[in-house]
Amino acid sequence: MKTIKITDNFEEAAAIGKSIFDEKKNVYTDEMIQSIYTIIDLNIPNASTEERENLFYHSVYDYWVYGATIGEEFYFNFYKISDQEKRSYITTREKVLYIRKLNKKEDAYILNNKYETYKRFKDYYKRDMIVLNDESDYDAFSEFVDKHKTFVVKPSELGLGIGVHKETIKSEEEKQIKFKQILNEGKCHAEESKRTENAAVVLEEVIKQADSLARIHEASVNGVRVTTLMANGNIHIIHPWIKMGVNGDFVTSAFLGSIDACIDAKTGIVDTVGIGEFGQRELYHPNSGIQIKGFQIPRWDELIELAKELSGKLPTIPYIGWDFALTDEGWVIMEGNFTGDFMWQLFYGKGMKKEFEDLSGVKLNKQFWWE
């Protein structure tokens, strides 16, 4: 693709986006097109047909110029801001480029495969986990569910909370049925996601979180994302955030509708309001009524010490997004993320590319992410 004209004019950008779309029609499947329009409708439900179409093509422009997804089009208000402002943000496509420069690709499996992470850091999970690959794993499944009647199911190599749910086995007959269902779920998620060919599923003992965090929303494990960056001989903590479930949902994922809020890395005090997937802002948790901004995360210094300790064990993966849960016995790993998100830009409402580049020493020098 040739160079793209840069403009701050919305209509002109949309027109350029249309020409890019016409050139790249083979990239945009009917499913992808519909998903983009779905996000547009959720964010601007009263848009006219012309406005919807212009927003669609403007998002195409912002994707090929800046690497912004349709979600970021609205998260970061890309359809409203200037070229200079857009370039201050790290977008999804740019995130991939930074991580390629920072993390050793060959070691991605350590964090991308949930069971591999568990094997390496079992002592830090403080709970049982098994992996199911096929029918030959029934005996291990049977032994596990006899010990843990209620457990958590997760596709081994998917993120964003996709496919995560809680199960309870009540009888021997149900055990065999659930085993087959779980294996089938793994195959379906692998086929549908197009992110992995691995249909394996992990089963985890349910985390019993400490009351101090459970009181925010009892049905979910309200975890904390701590992003670590190893650079210049130090391990830095980058804008942690808390993930809070809502409306009785078990899974906490902004992708699936939960609420997140940023935490001051030095004090452990939540310093933003809660923000949902579509930008809704909550000073108080909508279910428990607990004030989000100003909430003190318990045992904060212990958490930071743990995150740095774990990061130091993976020197070939300098950039990691760790998810932790607090139990009565202390902090435990939920999982590690090889391509952890830069969500703090949404929380603080500003681009933080310069801050990250200054800290990491990595810079993107090309005009377009695809060059």
For residue range 9-37, what is the model confidence (pLDDT) as tens digits?
999 999 999 999 999 999 999 999 999 99
For residue range 106-145, what is the model confidence (pLDDT) as tens digits?
999 999 999 999 999 999 999 999 999 888 888 998 999 9
- pLDDT score, position 163: 74
Domain with CATH 3.30.470.20 in the chain: 102-107+209-360
Tell me which CATH code domain 102-107+209-360 carries.
3.30.470.20
For the chain, the maximum distance between any two Cα atoms, rounded to a whole number of angstroms, is 65
CATH T-level fold of 128-205: Dna Ligase; domain 1 (3.30.1490)
For every residue of 45-94, DSSP letters joined together read: TT--HHHHHHHHHHHHHHHHHH---HHHHHHTTTTTS-HHHHTTS--HHH
Give pLDDT < 70 ranges for the chain.
Answer: 158-161, 190, 192-197, 250, 252-257, 278
Cβ contact 224:233 at 8 Å = no
- pLDDT score, position 193: 58
Cβ contact 76:345 at 8 Å = yes
The contacts of residue 251 (CB under 8 Å, 6+ apart) are 161, 164, 165, 220, 245, 258
Terminal-to-terminal C-alpha distance of the chain? 9
- pLDDT score, position 156: 82
Nearest-angstrom CA–CA distance, 92 and 371: 15
Domain with CATH 3.30.1490.20 in the chain: 128-205
Nearest-angstrom CA–CA distance, 157 and 47: 37
Q: Residue 126 class from Cβ within 10 Å (0-12 exposed, 13-18 middle, 19+ buried)?
A: middle
